Chains A and B, each alone.
Chain A
Amino acid sequence: AQRVTQPEKLLSVFKGAPVELKCNYSYSGSPELFWYVQYSRQRLQLLLRHISRESIKGFTADLNKGETSFHLKKPFAQEEDSAMYYCAPSNTGNQFYFGTGTSLTVIP
């Protein structure tokens, strides 16, 4: 069965500290992986996708096929990073299954 796990429901870090949001997936085939962000009361928007290998707003995510993980990292958290983050693998068949989300709070 397709499954994506974000083990931390809530995560708090101090401004300037490193942050890592974990994502593990169990998927058949070779899914494409995404991180989406939702700022307070706003729509979800794409943060990054693994095939583009871009760094967006200082965030990076490395796909580890051996561990089936796609953790999101940022070396120095900023207050504006406080938001809800969703890991979302997808495969063929128009299926997107979002993780349960991690609510990140950056403490000033």
Chain B
Amino acid sequence: DTAVSQTPKYLVTQMGNDKSIKCEQNLGHDTMYWYKQDSKKFLKIMFSYNNKELIINETVPNRFSPKSPDKAHLNLHINSLELGDSAVYFCASTLEGGRGEQYFGPGTRLTVT
């Protein structure tokens, strides 16, 4: 049983395209996150959702739009993809309102050509 899953695992696309990454957790957690890990392995929080409500929106271009249809899902839609969007995107979730252990998904490696 995978606790936090993401699809797809790999995504290769061209500049200007629109793509989505899906995330699901079956842990019953209330809070979910999206992180971006760049080529230097820097890990930066992008968004945080608590019970389907946006809590954190870090300095992220508005081409990135998270959507949470229910508290078990947090999807990330990216419009007009740019070369700099190439990275590994991790979804994560926590139970304790942001102070507990984070459970990470396997990551989605996005390559924009």
Query: Contact at A94–B101, with CB atoms within 8 Å?
Result: no
Query: Contact at A94–B50, with CB atoms within 8 Å?
Result: yes
Say which residue of A46, A91, A100, A101 sits within 8 Å of B102 (CB atoms).
A46
**Given A43-B107, A44-B104, A45-B104, A92–B45 Cβ distance below 8 Å?**
no
Chain A residues 83-106 with CB under 8 Å of chain B are: 84, 86, 88, 90-98, 100-101, 103
Query: Contact at A94–B41, with CB atoms within 8 Å?
Result: no
Query: Contact at A97–B45, with CB atoms within 8 Å?
Result: yes
Interface of B is mostly: strand
Say which residue of A90, A98, A103 sits within 8 Å of B43 (CB atoms).
A98
A74 within 8 A of B: no
Most buried by B among A34, A49, A88, A96: A96
Query: Contact at A43–B104, with CB atoms within 8 Å?
Result: yes
Query: Contact at A101–B101, with CB atoms within 8 Å?
Result: no
**Given A43-B107, A46-B102, A94–B43 Cβ distance below 8 Å?**
no
Residue in chain A with minimal CB distance to B101: A46
**Residue numbers in A under 8 Å from B97 (CB-CB):** 92, 94
Interface residues in chain B, defined as those with a beta carbon under 8 Å from any beta carbon in chain A? 4, 31, 33, 35, 41-45, 48, 50, 55-56, 90, 92, 94, 97-99, 101-102, 104-107
Q: Can you spell out 24 A-B residue pairs with CB atoms less than 8 angstroms apart? A: A32-B99, A34-B102, A36-B102, A38-B41, A42-B106, A43-B104, A44-B104, A46-B101, A88-B102, A91-B98, A92-B98, A94-B31, A94-B55, A94-B94, A94-B97, A94-B98, A95-B48, A95-B56, A95-B98, A97-B45, A100-B41, A100-B42, A101-B41, A103-B41
